């Protein structure tokens, strides 16, 4: 019963509150567009606060998060980490599926913030566009963040990395910081009920930029699945 009440409270406060942040970002975009990242970071902190105080979800980071232009590769188990990244890193450039940019109001703000759209069905042209956007972001000293599994996966599963990671790894020539996340234990995909507990980010050993792509894939795959265990 407590879990259901907490989940309902989260839905009732976080989503209406998010709409207010979107409206605030639209207003800021008219007068001071460079301040949009501040609004986005405030929204991320609002999300973490809702998760902490309404759902009882704490956050723990194991390992060191690097500043600057690194390629961050993350496990993807729930919506939590996609929003919480703005609390972990300074204005990260997050690669997100193209459809999200078509959401009214939100899509335009996402572009202004500097999220990177991915067109999954466009093949080589999508990779070229992703590379160009990533190069522009790293030139500003921003980290690039990619969820290489392509979609949220249930906790404990470890699907192979999609081709986009290897292509980006070779094209960008950046050191890779792999991160395992176990958010699916408490906030499983597509479930209304969200449980209390601790969400852990486990930062793996940096993968240098000059490895054979198969070795790089193997290292990253092992590192982002380091927290896997059956529910």
Q: How many domains does the chain have?
A: 1
DSSP label at 231?
-
Report the alpha-carbon distance of residue 10 to residue 172 in Å, rounded: 39
Closest CA to 7 of 56, 76, 78: 56
Pairing of strands 197-203, 176-181: antiparallel
Confidence tier at 110 by pLDDT (50, 70, 90) = confident
Q: Is the pLDDT of residue 125 over 80?
A: no
Q: Is the pLDDT of residue 123 over 70?
A: no
Instruction: Show the domain range for 220.
Output: 58-225
pLDDT tens per residue across span 34-92: 899 999 999 999 999 999 999 999 999 999 998 889 999 999 999 999 999 999 999 99
Tokens 């409270």: give the residue: 9
Residue 19 lies in a domain: no
Query: pTM for the complete prediction?
Result: 0.92
Residue 28 lies in a domain: no
Residue 4 lies in a domain: no
Question: How far are the Cα atoms of 72, 94, 186, 207, 208 from residue 215, in angstroms, in the given order?
Answer: 17, 24, 32, 10, 11
Residue 166 lies in a domain: yes
Residue 34 lies in a domain: no
Residue 63 lies in a domain: yes
pLDDT tens per residue across span 143-191: 999 999 888 999 999 999 987 788 888 888 999 999 999 999 999 988 8
């Amino acid at each position: 019963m407590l879990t259901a009440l907490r989940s309902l409270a989260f839905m009732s406060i976080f989503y209406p509150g998010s709409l207010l942040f979107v409206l605030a970002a639209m207003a800021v975009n008219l007068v001071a567009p460079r301040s949009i990242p501040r609004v986005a970071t405030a929204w991320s902190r609002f999300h973490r606060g809702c998760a902490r105080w309404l759902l009882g979800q704490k956050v723990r980071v194991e390992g060191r998060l690097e500043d600057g232009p690194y390629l961050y590769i993350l496990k993807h188990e729930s919506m939590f980490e996609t929003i919480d990244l703005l609390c972990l890193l300074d204005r990260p450039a997050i690669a997100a599926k193209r459809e999200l940019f078509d959401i009214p109001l939100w899509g335009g703000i996402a572009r202004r913030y500097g999220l990177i759209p991915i067109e999954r069905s466009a093949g080589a042209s999508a990779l070229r566009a992703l590379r160009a956007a990533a190069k522009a972001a790293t030139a500003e000293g921003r980290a690039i963040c990619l969820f290489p599994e392509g979609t949220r996966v249930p906790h404990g599963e470890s699907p192979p990395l999609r081709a986009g990671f290897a292509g980006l790894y070779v094209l960008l020539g950046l050191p890779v910081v792999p991160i395992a996340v176990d958010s699916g234990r408490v906030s499983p995909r597509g479930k209304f009920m969200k449980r209390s507990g601790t969400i852990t980010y486990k930062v793996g050993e940096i993968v240098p930029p000059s490895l054979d792509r198969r070795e790089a894939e193997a290292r990253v795959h092992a590192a982002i699945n380091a927290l896997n265990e059956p529910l």
